[in-house]
Amino acid sequence: MGVINVSPDSFSGDGLRDIKSAVALARNMTVDGADIIDIGGESTRPGTSPVTVDEELRRVIPTIQQISREISIPLSVDTYKLEVALKALDAGASMINDIWGLKKSPELARLAAERKVPIIVMSNQRDVSPLHDIVFPDIMAWIIADLQRALDQAQQLGVPWDNIIVDPGIGFGKTTEQNIEILNKLEQLQKLGRPILLGTSRKSLIQSVLNLPPDDRLEGSAATVAIGIARGADIVRVHDVASMTRVCRMSDAIIRGK
């Protein structure tokens, strides 16, 4: 899954301000091996202010409309706002990526059910750990319980089991040590029975270990992707598609015999 941020304050320094740049990046990602492209208009950087629905729509909808005309791979909309998700699906998206795992807008699940599209539910601890400093006694148990809650909620609102993807939420309310523990124990999420999405690309976890700025975290991202695949990740959400496609293919050859 390639990442396109149409937000000027993206944590990773890759925010785009115009549709032409986003379309060009989408084309390149497709050539470089992306299977899905995730488009978001609100930064998830800690401490950033939420954008209004109108502003998020202004950033995201024209971008999705144009990219969907140019490329054929599925587009995902990265939003927790119902109106944005609805208009994004009308514009050409075919997947919803909810970083709040239905906590803020359960109706996203009903929308996914009605439109028959997949939904990604993420375990986000920023509601209880906004400063990423709460030490959970058993972070994996906490995440599994949270994702099970989201899975149950999605099914109750009509989403077919096969259309749900889970994400442990690396970096969202967790400490560096907890993020590392999640990577090491990622296979525990397989008990949920759903595909696992892993998003570690350029995140502060890498900065904490290597002390590098966002645009110099390629090798650190590659290490987390390879280990994530070894621990059971099925989808990896990345900024550097060409390099990470090679990491994925090599990891698959070694670990899964593909």
Active site members: 203, 237
Would you say 23 and 58 are in contact if contact means Cβ atoms under 8 Å apart? Answer: no
Q: Which residues contact 229 (CB under 8 A, 6 or more apart)?
A: 236, 248, 251, 252, 255, 256
DSSP 156: H
- Read off φ and ψ for residue 234, nearest 5 degrees: -105, -30
Q: What CA–CA distance (Å, rounded) separates 25 from 67?
A: 10
User: For residue 161, is it left (φ>0), alpha (ψ between -120 and 50) or beta?
Assistant: alpha
